[in-house]
Chains A and B, each alone.
Chain A
C-alpha cells in the first residue's frame, strides 16, 4: 500500500536553473495539492490539480512557477529560473475525492545556491 511518493527528496540548484519536482499520488487518488513550507513556517497552498486539469492555482506565484498532472505519470511542479527565495520544502498531498482527507508525501527540499 504505497503512500504518496515524491522525488527527488533533495534538490540543489544554482540561481537561474530550473527545478522539477515530481509527485505520485496514492493509488486510486486523482486529486493532487502542492504546498510550500518555508523554514519554521506552516504550509502554504500553491495549486490543486486533477488529472489533466488545473482546478485552483490561486496560491501559485504568477511567474516562473507552473504545474501539471498529465493523464499518465506523476504530477510535476516546475520552477524556472530559480532564486534563493525559492529554497523551501515542497510537499504534495493527494486525496481520493470521496473524502476531505489529504495524505502528504515526504516532500522535496529545494536548496538554491
Chain B
C-alpha cells in the first residue's frame, strides 16, 4: 500500500520567516495530495491541495509543489505568523481508487513572535 514520509517532525521559525515541509510517497499511481492544518484539540482543516497534473499551486502565503518523477511534494509558507503555529499533515491518495488518504506523521510548526 501507500507509504507517506514527512519531514521534519518539528520546525521552529521566527515570525516573518519561511517554512518548508517535505513529504515523499511510494505509490506512483497516487494522484491527489492535500495538506491539512490541525490546531491542538481541533479537526484537521484542508489548507491547500494539488493534483498530479499540476506542478505547483499557490494560495496567498501558502504554496505546494509536486515532483511526480521523484514522488515528493512540499508545502511552503511565506511570511509566517504566530497563528500559523499548528501541526501540518501531508497526505496522498492510496492506490485503491477510493480516495482513501494515507497521511504523514505530521510536522509541528512553531512560529515565534
Chain A contacts to B: CB under 8 angstroms: 4, 31, 33, 35, 41-45, 48, 55-56, 58, 91, 95, 100-107
Contacts and interface: CB of A to CB of B under 8 A. Distances in A.
Contacts of A56: 96, 98, 100
B93 interface: yes
Given A42-B104, A45-B94, A55-B98, 13 more contacts: A4-B43, A31-B99, A33-B100, A42-B106, A43-B89, A43-B103, A44-B103, A45-B102, A48-B100, A101-B34, A101-B49, A102-B34, A104-B43
A100 B32 contact: yes
Interface of B: 6, 32, 34, 36, 42-46, 49, 51, 89, 93-94, 96, 98-106
Nearest to B93: A100
A91 B44 contact: yes
B98 A42 contact: no
A76 to B, nearest CB: 19
B89 to A, nearest CB: 6
Name A's interface SS.
strand
Contacts of A101: 34, 46, 49
Contact of A42 (B89, B99, B100): B89
Contacts of B96: 56, 58
Nearest to B36: A104
B24 to A, nearest CB: 14
Nearest to B6: A42
17 contacts: A4-B43, A41-B106, A42-B106, A43-B89, A44-B103, A45-B94, A45-B100, A56-B96, A58-B96, A100-B34, A101-B34, A101-B46, A102-B99, A102-B101, A104-B44, A105-B43, A106-B42
Contacts of A106: 42-43
Nearest to B104: A42
